[in-house]
A and B are shown apart, each in its own frame.
Chain A
Amino acid sequence: MAALSVRGVHKRFGPVEVLKGIDLTVENGEFAVLLGPSGCGKSTLLAVIAGLERPSAGTIEIGDRVVNDIEPKDRDIAMVFQSYALYPAMTVRRNITFGMECRGVPKQAQSEAVARVAGLLQIDGLLERKPAQLSGGQRQRVAMGRALVRDPLLFLFDEPLSNLDAKLRVDMRTEIKQLHQRIGTTIVYVTHDQIEAMTMASRIAVMDRGEIQQFDSPETVYNRPANLFVARFLGTPPMNTVPARLAQDGESLVAIVGAGQPGQATLPLPPQSASARAYLDREVVLGIRPECISDGAKRAADIPATRIEAEVEVSEPTGAETIVLIRIAGVRLRARIAPDIKLPTGRPARFSVDTRTICLFDPQTERLIA
C-alpha cells in the first residue's frame, strides 16, 4: 500500500509556479527525503501534503484516500517544523497534549500517551517546563514528541535539524533514524542537507525548480545521477562533470578527456556504457566522482585502475582526506587522495582512476546516457 501518492501537483503563487507537476509515490514504512537547494519547492510540496497549502492542480492521496478537500487535522498526519513551533505559553506537557485536547481524547488516554512518548524521547523531566526554559536540542525532542504522540499514518518533517548546532545535529540524525526503525511509520522529510538525506533516506527525491529530478535510493542517486543537476548537487565536492569525446578502442568504448590537446587522458568505459555507442565520435559530458581519482601509489588488487598524469593546481587538506584540484590537458577535475600524500603544486603527478562508475551525460539534454 502506498502511504502517500502525489499526482500531477502544481502550485502557483500568483504568476510564480513553485511546483510544476509533481508525481511521487511513497510506500508504507518508507523514509522519503525531499532534497534540494532553497527555493526548489520542497517545503511547499510538504505544506501541500500537510494541507496547509492547496495545490493549484493535481491530487494528494494519503493511505489510499484523496485528501485534497480534507483539513490538515483530519489527514492522519503529524508534522515537525524547522522552528519547532512549540506553543510558548504552554508547558511541554500541554504542548504534547494540545492536539489530543483538540480531538477530544479523554484525559486518562492523554496522560498515558504523554508518558509513553516522554519515555521514548527521554523528556520525562521536562514535562512541566515552558519552551523558553529548554535548550535547542530539548525543544527539538519536544517537537518530535508532539508529532509522535499522534501515532499517524504519515510523519512530515520540515528541516527539523537545521536549527541545531553541528554536533547535536549528528546525534539527532542517528536518533531519528533509529526511531524510524523502531516505529516503522512512513516519513516524508524535507532537508537541504545532503548528508541528512544520504544517511537517513530509504529513497531521496532530488528537487530543483519545482520538479523532481530523480527519486531513488541514496546509492542510485549518488552513483547513477539521472542528470547533471543531481550529479553536481550531491557530494562534497560534487561529481566532476567535464567534456569528453567518445571513441572506439578495439571492442570497447573509451572517453578522451582533453581530446587533441597535449596530455589528453584516455579512460576505458565500463561495460554499462555500451548503450552510449550512438554518441561515438561525439562530445559528451563525463561524470566521475572525486573519490574515483586517487594518488598513483594506491592500487588495490581487485580494482582495475587506469593510470593518468595530471598537473596539481591546488591542494586542500581537510584532515580525513585531501582534495586536489588537477588539470588534464586544460580540463580541471577534483581528486580525493589520502591525507598523508603530499603533492607539490604546479607539478605533474600520477593518479589512478577507477573507471567502473563513470557516468555519461548528453551535453544538450543533460540527461544520463550511460
Chain B
Amino acid sequence: MVGTSPVASAARVLLRPTRWLIYAALTASALFFLVPLVVVLLNSVRTAQEIGLGSLIGWPSVLAWDNYVQAWSSYCIAQRCEGIRMYMANSLAMVIPATIVSTALGALAGYSISLWRFRGDNIVFAVVIMGVFLPDQMKLIPWALVLRQFGLSNTVGALVLIHTIQGLSFTTLFCRNYFVAIPQDLMKAARVDGAGYFRIFWRIVLPLSPPILVVTVIWQFTGIWNEFLYGVTFTTGPQQPVTAALIAISVTAPTDVPQYGIQSAAVLLAALPTLLVYFFGGQYFLRGLTAGAIK
C-alpha cells in the first residue's frame, strides 16, 4: 500500500466494474419504482379526451391544470360534487389530534417506563408493545363494539380515538428506547434538586427529545394519514378520510368517460401532506432513528 493516496484508492474503487453493476441495478430499480408516480403525475395534467383517445401512458399535449381545481372542489365523489376538499379536511381533523395526543402520551409512557423504574415495568412495556404486532383486522370487531358503546360510530372522533390508542404502542416503544440512554445520574441529581415527575419530564427530558419526537410525529402522521382499513370500515359518506373517499373515485358511471386526469390529480393532492412531511422531516427521521447516546 506504499504510495497510495486515499483519493487514488477511492477513485479506483469507483472505477471497478462491480461498482458500475451496482449503480446500474440501483438506477434500474429506482426507475421501475418511480414509473407509477410518473404516469400519475403526467395524467394529472392531461385531459380526459386526450387519455381516452390515446393511451394511458403519454406526454400531455396541453397542461390541463384545471384537473386539480376540479379534483379539489367540484369533482363528484359518491353523488357529492364537492371534490376531495371535505375529505381532506376530515383527514386533517383526524391526523392532527391523533398524532399530537399519541406522541405526547407515548413520550410520557416511555419516560415512565425507562426512567422511573417500578415493579413490573418490563411487563407493562412488553404488554404495551404487543400492540405493534397485532394485525389490524383482528381489532376491527372490538373497536366496533367500543365505538357503539361510546356513541362514536361514523364520526371523525372515532378515528381519532382509534389512532391515538393504537399509536401508543409505537410511540411508547420509540420514546422508551430513546430515553433509556439518558443517564440515571441525571434523574438522581434532579431528585436531589427537588424536581418531581412532571418537572423532570418538562425541564430535563423533553429538551433532550426533539430527535425522537420528530421521528414519532412523522411516523404517526404518515401512518394515520395513509390508513385505510379503519377509515373505510367505521365511516361512510361525508365522514370519511380522504384515503377512504378515494376508493369511490374509481367508481365511474358506465355511461361516463373515465376521468383519469382528475382522478390522478385527486390522488396526488391526497398524497401531498405525507410527501411534504417526508421532504421537510425526512432527514430528521433518518438521523433520529439512528440517534442513541445522549452525551
A residues at B contact (CB < 8 Å): 47, 50, 52, 71-74, 77-79, 81-85, 87-90, 98-99, 102-103, 132, 146
Contact = CB atoms under 8 A, between A and B. Distances in A.
A73 B193 contact: yes
Listed from nearest, the 8 A-B pairs whose CB atoms lie closest are A89-B207, A73-B194, A102-B194, A99-B193, A85-B185, A85-B189, A81-B185, A83-B185
B199 to A, nearest CB: 7
B294 A98 contact: no
A52 B199 CA distance: 17
24 contacts: A52-B188, A52-B191, A52-B192, A71-B191, A71-B194, A72-B191, A72-B194, A73-B191, A73-B194, A81-B188, A81-B189, A83-B183, A85-B188, A87-B189, A88-B294, A90-B207, A98-B190, A98-B193, A98-B203, A99-B192, A99-B194, A102-B194, A102-B199, A132-B295
A47 B188 CA distance: 9
B43 to A, nearest CB: 49
Interface in B186-224: 186, 188-195, 199, 203-204, 207-208
A79 B192 contact: yes
Contacts of B195: 73, 98, 102
A133 B25 CA distance: 45
Contact of A79 (B183, B188, B199): B188
A85 B186 contact: yes
Contacts of A84: 185
A79 B294 contact: no
A84 B188 CA distance: 11
Contacts of A78: 192
Given A52-B191, A72-B192, A81-B185, A88 B208 contact: yes
Contacts of B193: 73, 98-99, 102, 146
A81 B207 CA distance: 21
A77 B186 contact: no
B185 A87 contact: no
Interface residues of B, number: 18
Contacts of A90: 203-204, 207
A81 B191 CA distance: 13
B170 to A, nearest CB: 25
B207 to A, nearest CB: 3
B44 to A, nearest CB: 45
A79 B194 contact: no
B204 A73 contact: no
A102 B198 CA distance: 12
A262 B45 CA distance: 109
Contacts of B208: 88-89
Nearest to B189: A85
A81 B183 CA distance: 11
A87 B190 contact: yes
Contacts of B188: 47, 50, 52, 72, 79, 81, 85
Given A87-B203, A88-B186, 17 more contacts: A72-B188, A73-B191, A73-B192, A81-B188, A85-B183, A85-B185, A85-B186, A87-B189, A87-B204, A89-B208, A98-B190, A98-B203, A99-B193, A102-B193, A102-B195, A103-B194, A146-B193
Interface in B19-55: none
Contacts of B203: 87, 90, 98
A87 B186 contact: yes
A132 B295 CA distance: 8
B189 A79 contact: yes
B204 A89 contact: yes
Contacts of B189: 79, 81, 85, 87, 146
Contacts of A81: 185, 188-189
Nearest to A103: B194
B121 to A, nearest CB: 15
Contacts of A74: 194
Contacts of A98: 190, 193, 195, 203
Given A89-B207, A98-B203, A82 B185 contact: yes
Contacts of A85: 183, 185-186, 188-189
Contacts of B185: 81-85
A83 B192 CA distance: 15
A50 B192 contact: yes
A16 to B, nearest CB: 17
A358 to B, nearest CB: 44
Contacts of A72: 188, 191-192, 194
B89 to A, nearest CB: 37
A301 B276 CA distance: 90
Most buried by A among B185, B193, B208: B193
A81 B204 CA distance: 17
Contacts of B183: 83, 85
A77 B294 contact: no
